[in-house]
Amino acid sequence: MNVSTNDGPSEQALKVLYTDLDGTLLGPGGSLFAAARGLSTGEAATALLGLRHAGVELVIMSGRTRRGLHEVARVLGASAYVAELGGLLVVGAEEPIEDTGAFTGPGSLPDALARSGVAALLLERFRGRLEPVAPWTEVSVMFQGFIDVEEAEAVLAEAGFGWLGVRDNGRLRRLLPSLDVPEVRAYHLLPRGVSKASAVLRHRELRDVPREATAAIGDSLADLEVAEVVGRFFLVANGLGAIADAPMPGNAVVTNLPHGDGFAEAVRSLLGR
């Protein structure tokens, strides 16, 4: 289902746009100006300017850490950002809001994850197929490799960690000589109930913004879940492979173009241009 350029804004004027970063707003290699097939584009930058002129808040949602998003959000003019796939919400200069989901204690979530040995459990079970990344994470454990998520969650449940889930955050463009895998994907170990969607809902509640005044753009299953809590959702064309056979929500459409060009296509539709 493709975006129609005749789609205008909803009856409720758009106030907040939530967007994924890598693979959506940013093109191959993580550049705002990179397009498919090695080409260059300025469409995403123009779309960001259009949002600013229209008075629409930009909120970034990503699997990156808070440290990795702080400067990116500032440069792009984002009023808030979601880090670690929903584990942290940062609004302006305020202290980060942590989402602990199904974790009930005792102690803090980071301490519990560090003490539990759960990361070592998964690394041992999937030796040669999984390795850790970003040791400075705050509320999750990040991995890269290629595993079966259902199998990983069965391992967790059997070991008494049923309150944790493994989230697939999409394919990475690099291969790792240290792993014997056909492709490399990013994974997050998070408490159940924590997601980009839960963080977006929290932000909406804090800002007192109705669902009809919001939209989101993304390229993965983790992004597609956000459709449940926003007025409109756009999947950029390069995300079709990531969602596989997942059903498209009624408020979701697929752009004709990938990456930043698809982001710009969605913004034009939202602003009625």
Give the global pTM: 0.91
Both 39 and 173 in one domain: the answer is: no
CA neighbor of 138 nearest in space, from 83, 198, 191: 83
SS3 of 37, please?
Answer: helix
CA neighbor of 125 nearest in space, from 187, 32, 33: 187
Instruction: Give the end of a domain, one of 191, 207, 236.
Output: 191
Both 38 and 78 in one domain: the answer is: yes
CA neighbor of 237 nearest in space, from 249, 255, 250: 255
CATH code of the domain containing 51: 3.40.50.1000
Both 119 and 171 in one domain: the answer is: yes
Q: Does residue 8 lie in a domain region? A: no
What's the burial of 1, exposed, middle or buried (CB within 10 Å: 0-12/13-18/19+)? exposed
Q: Does residue 2 lie in a domain region? A: no
In this prediction, residue 7 carries a pLDDT of 42
CATH code of the domain containing 162: 3.90.1070
In this prediction, residue 140 carries a pLDDT of 92
Per-residue CA distances from 30 to 24, 126, 181 (Å): 9, 28, 23
Q: Does residue 251 lie in a domain region? A: yes
How many residues appear in the chain? 273
In this prediction, residue 11 carries a pLDDT of 53
User: How many domains does the chain divide into?
Assistant: 2
Residue 169 lies in domain: 109-191
Q: Does residue 3 lie in a domain region? A: no
Q: Does residue 94 lie in a domain region? A: yes
Per-residue pLDDT of the chain (273 residues; tens, 9 = 90+): 444 434 444 457 999 999 999 999 999 989 999 998 889 999 999 999 999 999 999 999 999 999 999 999 999 999 999 999 999 999 988 899 999 999 998 889 989 998 999 999 999 999 999 999 877 788 999 999 999 999 999 999 999 999 999 999 888 877 888 999 999 999 999 999 999 999 999 999 999 999 999 999 999 999 999 999 999 999 999 999 888 888 999 999 999 999 999 999 999 999 997
Both 135 and 247 in one domain: the answer is: no
Both 134 and 80 in one domain: the answer is: no
Q: Does residue 28 lie in a domain region? A: yes
Residues in CB range of 104: below 8 A, 6 or more apart: 163
Both 88 and 28 in one domain: the answer is: yes
Instruction: Give the end of a domain, one of 174, 191, 208.
Output: 191
